[in-house]
Structure formats: C-alpha cells, structure tokens
Amino acid sequence: MANKKIGNFEAIALVLTVMVNHVILNLPKSIISSSSSAAIINVLFISIVVLGIVFLICKLLEKFPNLDILDIANFLGGKVLKSIIGILFLGYFIFTVSTILRSFSEGLKIVFFPRTSVATIMILLLLAIVITNKLGFQAIVRSNLFMMPIFLFTILFIFFANIQNFTVQRMLPLLGEGIYTTFFAGLSNLFAFSGIIYLYLIPPYLKDAKSQKSISFVSIGASAVCLLVSVATLLFISPNSIISEEIFPLYLASRNIEFGRFFQRLDAVFLLIWIISITAYLSISFSFATRVFQKLLNFEHAKWYTALFTLFIFAIAILPENMYQINFIETKIYPYIVLILVFGLGLALLVFANIKYYLIEKKKGAVSIDKASI
Amino acid sequence: MIRHLYRYVVIFIVAILFSSAFVGAHSVQSVDDLAYAVAIGFDVGETERIKVTFQFTRPNSSGENNSGETAPSVIDSVEASCIDSAVNLVNTFVSKEVNLSHCKVIVFSEEMAKQGISKEIYSLMNKVEVRPDSNIIISTGTAEEYIQSVKPSLENLVAKFYEILPRSSEYTGYTSDIHLIDFFNKLESKFEEPIAILRNPCA
C-alpha cells in the first residue's frame, strides 16, 4: 500500500476531475434546464449546501482515519454490510464509466467522426483505460494531476474568451421559475458534486491522513468554482432552447471563440484536450471499480479481471439504443443514483458508524478504530 | 513457456483491436471528396417551401489562377421543404458530398425574410457543420441573384471576399458584422430584435 499512496494535490485533482468531466459533458445543461435563469443562484446555493455536507463528512470520518467506506461498513455491519455497500459502489462505478463512455463516444461521432461506428470509438477509449490501469493507480493519478491545470484552463479560457458574446441579462429574473424551483426542487442538483464519492474511498491512499479535511474542502470548493464558471458561460452565451439541444454545450461555447482572422476554430484543440480529460476520468473510475471488487473478494492482484471488467463495461455501454435513451439515463437516472448513494446511503452509513463508535466507547472506554481492530 | 504464450496472445489481441480502428479507413473522406459550400441562399420556392442555392468553390482553384482573375465557383439551386432535404438532393447529383463547414454567408431573400426565417435559423444552428460565425445577409432581390452577382474584383477567392466584406464595419458605419449566433440569440431574446446585413444584388 505504501507505494500506492497519493499526495494532497493528487487527491485534489482526483476529486476535481469528476466535476471537470461532467462539466465538459452535459452537467451545465442539466442545471440550466432545471433552474433556467436562476442557474447561477442555484449553483451558489448548492455549493454552500455541499460545503456543509463536506464538513459533516469530514467530522464523521475523523474517528476512522485511513479507513474507506467499505472498512467502515465492515465495522458497522460486518461482512454482509461491507458486501452490500461494495456491490452498490461497484455498480455505481461501472454504471458511470459505461454511461460516460457511450455519451462521449456518441458526441465525438456526431461532431468529428460521422462515418466511424460508436463501437470503434468506445474500443479505442477502453484500450486507453486498460493500458493506463496496467500502468498502475499512481500513474493515473499523477498524469491526471499533470493535465488538470490544462483541463481547468480550457474551462476558464472559454469563459474569458466569450465575455464579448455575453448577454448578462439572461440571468434575469434572478429567481428563475420561483423560490421553490430554485432552492427546494433545485436541491436535486446536488448530484453535480458526485465527486464526493471519492472522499469516501481515498482515505487509505492518502500519504497524510490529517490533510483529509483540507483536501475535501479545496477539491469541492474548486469544483464549485468550475461549475459556476461553466454554468455562467452557457447561461450568458446562448438561450436555453439551444443549450438543451446541444451534444456538448461547452463545445458550443468554444465554437464562438475567435481572435481576429488568424486564430479561428479553436474548438478542435479543446476537444482534443477533453478526450484526454475523459480518458483520465474513465481510467480513475475504472481503477476504483477494480479496487472495490478486489477489496470485496480479497484478491491480491487486479491484473486478470481488468479485461473482464472492460468487456462488461463495453457490453453495458452499447445497451442504450439511441441518444434519447443516453440522455434519459444521464439526466433522469444518474442524478438520483448519486443522490441516493452519495448523499443518502454514504452519509447514513457514516452517521450510524459514529453512533456505534460512541456506544462502544461508552461501554469499554476510549477505543481506537483502525484496520487491526476490524 | 505458458507465460510467453500468454504475452503473445495479449499482444495479438491488442493488435487486432487497434487494427479494428482502421477498418473503416477505405471510406475515410479526404478534402477532394467533399464539395465545400461557401454560401447558402434561401428563397421562397415555386413548387416546394424553399429554394436553396449553394455556392461551391472548386478545389485547387486558387493555385490554378495566377492571372488575377477570380477563381470560378459553381452555383446550384434546388427546391426542398427544408435545408437537410436540400443538401440531400444536391448530394444526389453532384459528384462530391456537400459540406457546410466552410460556409461564410447565409443569404435570405427579402421576400423570405418577411415571411419568417426562424425555422431555417433553428435548423442551421442545430447543424454541427455550420459555423456560428457565418454572416447573415438579407438580399433586396432573390438570394440566388445575390450569390450569382458576387464577383469580387479585388479578390481572387470568393470565400475570402465573403469573410472580409462584413468586416468593413470596423472602418465604416454603413454595415454591421452580424453572425448566425448573434442573429439567433436576438431572435430568441425577449428584449432584442435580430438584425442582418442588407445587400442589393445589383449594387
């Protein structure tokens, strides 16, 4: 495990990569569709709420240093609960990788490769994922950290380069369709911060367990800024009707960028960077899927079943018949899975584990929960 | 021995998978296989809803012409119910596949503009090939007349002429550089009205 430990910046980039890639795909589209002109207010609101939740998670994890959610589930309910939680998390990662793989491949096909089959694009991306996973977890996390400034730069660049095309009045009326839609129904947009799932899983990989709190706040704070910037870009640049039609809404924004007659059509560069970004994200999620599986079945090596996982993900990714079904999965199913698993089940598990911890502490005096005691 | 065999099998599978990416290479399109439209014109149709005029540039026409004459372009018109049908119709009789990614101007006749062009603007915005920075022009005559009348005297390439012309708004006050995205945004806006460049085919 010692050689698999990751530093603070690597951990921050790891959590941030979830937000960056969902922003590239269609997260801002979902938020603008549900909140219309109040999208910015809604993002600010859910960011504050999510920072509160992160504070709660950090507090709840304090008693379980270096333990991930599977270890905590094992502490709370033994092997049965650990298996249930493990299967749910495994299912989440496989579902996420499959959906994003298919969605991005379909988008690439429409934009750049109209004559190439989606399966071919998916196979190439899956090959990249398998090769990076062969290189190891640290290689993936480090290369992700290396590329993260470039990924973030593209999002910020699109915002600043488009300022001249902004119509700021599009954020009026400020509360969009009303207080209820913006603040209460808008709470469902918490799914945007699905990167929190990594906060449950990274503690065993951290070099410095004490920095868990700062990693959590910095990564989620940066994710909130990233989301705010992308939502503002799209809201100010185009009407809602066209954003909801676009495959990659941020790509639409990048198509408007030009600097005189010399620098035009920069969108191709952005798409190239985003292909690398998506590959990094898929590799990380895939790596976590294999790790959860490995932990569930107590396997020592992950090599032989990565190929099986790849085939399984490919099989799930080709299941949706068309873009309508993919959009339905992304906008109607995925958010609820995140809300239930990350914000519901994950938090409930931590709360109950803490209650059990205090009950044991009360019974036996001060105890220290670590791997040896589980 | 088995370990070596396993390695060779993995290398073989990876090679097969990689080569699958190039299976479609025989159908890859090169620039020579595409007909690039530099201008599209929309008029009211006689038998169908709209009459669409495409102006294509001939590949390598810039290299052939060193005498200072304007490079020749090809103009084709079809009547169809929408832009997609029109592109499909043109594809049936031109030898190359129509590509709109280098379309510089979109011309509407005044008559068509008066009837309403929001359907066409929506269709164009939803086409990935069409750039949002294409200029919108309203012709006082028909769009076909305007496209046929464009014979730049100081420019060899008609595509460059279309690109430079609207930029004269930077040093004159007689025109404006209106892009498709600006036009669409204003069309959708609740507090702005869309405007376009007005051109006379006879001028």
pLDDT tens for the 203 residues of chain B, in order: 666 777 777 777 777 766 666 555 555 667 777 888 999 999 999 999 999 999 998 766 555 555 556 667 888 899 999 999 999 999 998 888 888 988 989 999 999 999 999 999 999 988 888 888 899 999 998 999 999 988 887 877 888 888 888 777 778 878 888 889 889 888 888 788 888 888 887 76
Collapsed DSSP state (helix, strand, coil) of residue B38 = strand
Closest residue, chain B, to A245 (C-alpha):
B126
Q: Do A238 and B27 touch (CB under 8 A)?
A: no
List chain B domain ranges: 34-199
Q: How far is B112 from chain A (nearest CA, A)?
A: 23
Dihedrals phi, psi of B71, to nearest 5 degrees: -65, 140
State the Cα–Cα distance between residues B15 and B77, nearest whole angstrom.
Answer: 48
Q: From the candidates A105, A256, A257, which should be mutated to test the interface with B, based on the most B CB atoms within 10 A? A: A256
- Cβ contact A82:A292 at 8 Å: no
What residues in B contact A258, CB-CB < 8 Å?
133
pLDDT of residue A150: 92
What is the pLDDT, as a whole number, of residue A323?
83
Place of tokens 């409930």: A348
Predicted confidence (pLDDT) at residue A60 exceeds the cutoff of 80: yes
Element (H, E) at B123: helix B118-126
User: What residue in A sits closest to B15 (Cα-Cα)?
Assistant: A127
ipTM: 0.74
* Beta carbons of B133 and A239 less than 8 Å apart: no
* Confidence at residue A315, expressed as pLDDT on a 0 to 100 scale: 92
Say what the pLDDT of residue A98 is: 94
- Tell me if chain B has a CB within 8 Å of the CB of A120: yes
Orientation of helix A303-317 relative to helix A118-135, angle to 10°: 160
pLDDT at A148: 92
* Nearest-CA distance B47 → chain A (Å): 31
How close A36 gets to chain B, by Cα (Å)? 14
Task: Give the domain CATH number at A348.
Answer: 1.20.1740.10
pLDDT on residue A373 = 52
Which of the pair, A257 or A83, is modelled with greater confidence?
Answer: A83
Q: Domain range for residue A27?
A: 2-373
Tell me the pLDDT tens digit for each residue of A241-252: 777 766 788 888
Hey, what are A149's tokens?
Answer: 């400034």
Burial A120-145 (b: 16+ CB within 10 A, else e): bbbbbbbbbbbebbeeebeebbbbbb
What's the pLDDT band for A2 if we cut at 50, 70, 90? very low
Distance CA A165, CA A159 (A): 10
How many structural domains compose chain A? 1
| C-alpha–C-alpha distance, residues A134 and A286, integer Å | 11
What is the reported pTM? Answer: 0.85
